[in-house]
Amino acid sequence: MARFKGLVLLNARDFCVRRFGEAGWAAVLSRLPDDDRAIVESAVHVGWYDIGLYDRLHAAIAASVGSGPDAVMVELGHYCAERDLTTVHRIFMRMATPSFLLQKYGDYWRRYQDSGEWTITKEGDRRVRASLARWGSVESATCVRLGAYIQRFVELIGAVAPRVHRSKCRSRGDATCEYVVEWYDGPKA
């Protein structure tokens, strides 16, 4: 069983409450089965939860709030990256190139996910192909959120105008999820 860290649930709740109010969060919860709702409402940062819940929560968010499913998942992905990367992380990470840090993304990934193996291929000075194999998620909304998370992650570590294109996705029947990441170099702090 693939699992993810509870911090992801808490970030999703915080995002929805801040962006859409308690009524928006209640609308999201109302779309979940009773068992899922109970888990989400009692989640703790350090707990590990079944990735099916992760997908169902993202689908509920995409269906309940925002101006469209992709738009709200992009907002959520950006919000979570900002929450996960503390100021100390950002300062430290600006000492390395985005390409180098993306090649280390698999190690960072393990803090929040116990399934999925990243293969990062550098295709130029400011372009990488990031492939995620054997991930437990198959929900399109989750994959949109992940692409947005990567985009904001790269931006927070110093890349200028990063673009992320989801070229393959398990939710579309592909064997892997694959993101092509491109950016401009920014000034070093």
pLDDT band with cut points at 50, 70 and 90 for residue 135:
very high
Whole-number percent of the chain with pLDDT over 70:
93
Decide if 29 contacts 41 (C-beta within 8 A). Answer: yes
Q: How far apart are CA 168 and CA 138, in angstroms?
A: 12
Residues 6+ apart with CB under 8 A from 111: 5
- 29-58 mean pLDDT: 97
Give tens-digit pLDDT for 40-49. 999 999 999 9
- Give the Cα-Cα-Cα angle 182, 179, 69 (nearest 5 degrees): 105
What pLDDT is stored for residue 92 in this prediction?
A: 62
Q: How far apart are CA 180 and CA 102, in angstroms?
A: 11
Of residues 14, 19, 117, 8, the one with CA closest to residue 56 = 8
What pLDDT is stored for residue 108 in this prediction?
A: 84
pLDDT at 93 over 70: no
pLDDT at 171 over 80: yes
Decide if 72 contacts 58 (C-beta within 8 A). Answer: no
Average pLDDT, the chain: 91
Residues 6+ apart with CB under 8 A from 18: none
Q: How far apart are CA 172 and CA 186, in angstroms?
A: 34
Where along the chain do the CATH 3.90.1520.10 domains lie? 83-185
What pLDDT is stored for residue 88 in this prediction?
A: 52
Q: How far apart are CA 1 and CA 83, in angstroms?
A: 26
pLDDT at 94 over 70: no
pLDDT at 188 over 60: no
Q: How far apart are CA 189 and CA 187, in angstroms?
A: 6
Give the CATH H-level superfamily of domain 83-185. H-NOX domain (3.90.1520.10)
pLDDT at 103 over 80: no
Whether the pTM exceeds 0.85: the reply is: yes
